[in-house]
Amino acid sequence: MDRVRLGKSNISVSKLCFGTLTISPLQKNFSIDKGADLLKSAFDMGVTFFDTAEIYGSYPHLKRAFAGNPDVVISTKCYAYDEQTAKKSLELARQGLGRDVIDIFMLHEQESELTLQGHKKAIDYFLKMKQKGLIRSFGVSTHHVACVDAAAAHAEIEIIHPIYNKRGLGIADGSIEEMRAAIKKAHEAGIGIFAMKPLGGGHMCRTPAEAFDFVLGSSFIDAVAVGIQSEQELADNIEYFSGNREMKFASSTERKIMIHDWCTGCGTCVGACKSGAISVINGKAVVDQSKCVFCGYCGAACKDFVIKVV
Ligand code: SF4
Ligand code: SF4
- The structure's pTM equals 0.90
Q: Among the atoms of ligand 1, which is closest to the Cα of residue 264?
A: 7
Condensed to tens digits (0 to 9), the pLDDT of residues 61-73 reads 999 999 989 999 9
User: What are the CB-based long-range contacts (under 8 Å, 24+) for 9-13?
Assistant: 9/136, 9/137, 9/158, 9/159, 9/192, 10/136, 10/137, 11/73, 11/103, 11/104, 11/136, 11/137, 11/159, 11/192, 12/73, 13/48, 13/49, 13/73, 13/194, 13/222, 13/223
On whether the 3-241 domain is CATH 3.20.20.100, my answer is: yes
Domain boundaries, the chain: 3-241, 257-309
Ligand 2 centroid, distance to 307 Cα (angstroms)? 9
Instruction: Please report the pLDDT score of residue 122 as a whole number.
Output: 98
| pLDDT of 39 above 90 | yes
285 lines ligand 1 (CB under 6 A): yes
Ligand 1 centroid, distance to 267 Cα (angstroms)? 5
On whether the 257-309 domain is CATH 3.30.70.20, my answer is: yes
295 lines ligand 2 (CB under 6 A): yes
273 lines ligand 1 (CB under 6 A): no
297 lines ligand 2 (CB under 6 A): yes
| pLDDT of 253 above 90 | no
Q: Among the atoms of ligand 2, which is closest to the Cα of residue 296?
A: 3
293 lines ligand 2 (CB under 6 A): yes
